């Protein structure tokens, strides 16, 4: 086992679990940081951020907190065979696991909500898609809030949930695991919806073949995230019959993979544009240092991309940044019929946009 190690003479998977959380959470935080910094640098204030950015920021911070909690759990013996865990540490491990599991539910809801909002802003007048995303995410927040609250309401007193030695009453652990597994199964469904939603917008956009490949890769990763969530649900459902501390590596891999994929996919368009703009800026500085000027044609193409990405939406949402955000997904933009802003199917015979659309 690649993640198998030793603490003293006791076999453990704990260090591997902790390393997994730290690596995934740090990379996710870097991606979110690039997205936020790019928007703030572009707008020179917090005005460039919208709800999806704040949700991703919350998810990234919570992901790092979960990594710290898991690291502490490992120090108490999490990842060993249950029989090898010191009895006095069971309560501490249980409390830390309860907190981290609740945070994971909120991270899952926030990250999925952020991606849905990002697609929602691009969907513009595709009413059925916007309604579908809205309903799906509202239900998602309700489901995961209930899942996060369950361990805190299951027992009386509350501490009995993570420390069975405390006298008190609880409803069935099997009921708790089944309802939590149902929440994760719904998360798998949401991942599939989010993975498929960009393709509902594609017929209304002119996009390059590279962007189509990028959307295809994002869809494939969304399917992987969905499979991870479904796997987590299945493993959690059978957790009572397993050596939970030792076998937790499987659930942890599924958990980190799902969160990591959703957060990174939410940041991928912004990260791509960040590196593209950085590369162009570096090229311009290099040309200026050599006493040359960048080719005019390249400059025109750069301006065309930045000005033709999307026309202003016909109806703005309260709190939405003034500048359209569609360029974070696609560099193409919606086709138009005359001066009407309503979406129409693109005409393959149109090779160029009217100049008035580029203003």
pLDDT confidence band for 287 (50 / 70 / 90): low
pLDDT at residue 84, rounded to an integer: 85
Is residue 326 pLDDT above 70, yes or no?
A: no
Q: What is the pTM of this model?
A: 0.75
pLDDT 10s digits, 204-221 = 777 777 777 878 888 888
pLDDT 10s digits, 100-157 = 999 999 999 999 998 888 888 887 778 888 898 889 999 999 999 999 999 999 888 9
pLDDT at residue 300, rounded to an integer: 39
Q: Which CATH class is domain 5-275?
A: mainly alpha
Q: Which of 335 and 222 is assigned the larger pLDDT?
A: 222
Work out whether strand 155-156 and strand 169-170 pair parallel, antiparallel, or are unpaired.
antiparallel
pLDDT at residue 325, rounded to an integer: 47
- The tokens for 248 are 């937790």
């Amino acid at each position: 086992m690649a993640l198998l190690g030793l603490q003293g003479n006791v076999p453990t998977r704990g260090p591997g679990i902790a390393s997994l959380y730290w690596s995934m959470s740090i990379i996710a935080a870097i991606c979110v940081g690039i997205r936020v910094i790019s928007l703030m640098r572009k707008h020179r204030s917090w005005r460039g951020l919208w709800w999806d950015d704040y949700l991703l920021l919350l998810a990234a911070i919570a992901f790092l907190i979960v990594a710290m909690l898991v690291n502490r759990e490992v120090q108490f013996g999490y990842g060993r065979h249950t029989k090898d865990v010191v009895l006095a540490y069971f309560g501490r491990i249980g409390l830390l696991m309860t907190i981290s599991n609740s945070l994971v539910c909120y991270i899952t809801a926030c990250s999925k909500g952020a991606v849905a909002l990002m697609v929602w802003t691009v969907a513009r007048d595709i009413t059925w898609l916007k309604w579908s995303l809205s309903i799906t995410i509202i239900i998602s927040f309700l489901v995961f809030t209930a899942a996060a609250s369950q361990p805190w309401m299951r027992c009386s007193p509350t501490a009995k949930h993570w420390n069975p030695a405390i006298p008190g009453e609880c409803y069935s652990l099997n009921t708790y695991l089944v309802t939590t597994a149902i929440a994760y199964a719904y998360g798998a469904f949401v991942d599939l919806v989010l993975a498929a939603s960009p393709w509902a917008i594609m017929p209304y956009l002119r996009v390059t073949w590279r962007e189509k490949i990028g959307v295809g890769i994002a869809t494939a990763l969304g399917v992987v995230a969905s499979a991870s969530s479904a796997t987590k649900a299945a493993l959690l459902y059978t957790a009572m019959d397993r050596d939970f501390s030792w076998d937790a590596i499987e659930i942890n891999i599924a958990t980190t993979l799902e969160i990591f994929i959703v957060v990174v996919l939410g940041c991928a368009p912004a990260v791509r544009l960040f590196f593209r703009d950085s590369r162009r800026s570096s090229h311009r500085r290099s040309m200026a240092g050599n006493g040359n000027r960048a080719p005019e044609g390249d400059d025109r193409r750069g301006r065309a991309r930045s000005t033709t990405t999307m026309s202003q939406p016909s109806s703005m949402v309260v709190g939405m940044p003034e500048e359209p955000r569609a360029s974070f997904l696609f560099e193409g933009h919606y086709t138009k019929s005359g001066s009407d802003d309503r979406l129409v199917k693109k005409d393959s015979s149109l090779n160029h946009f009217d100049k008035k659309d580029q203003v």
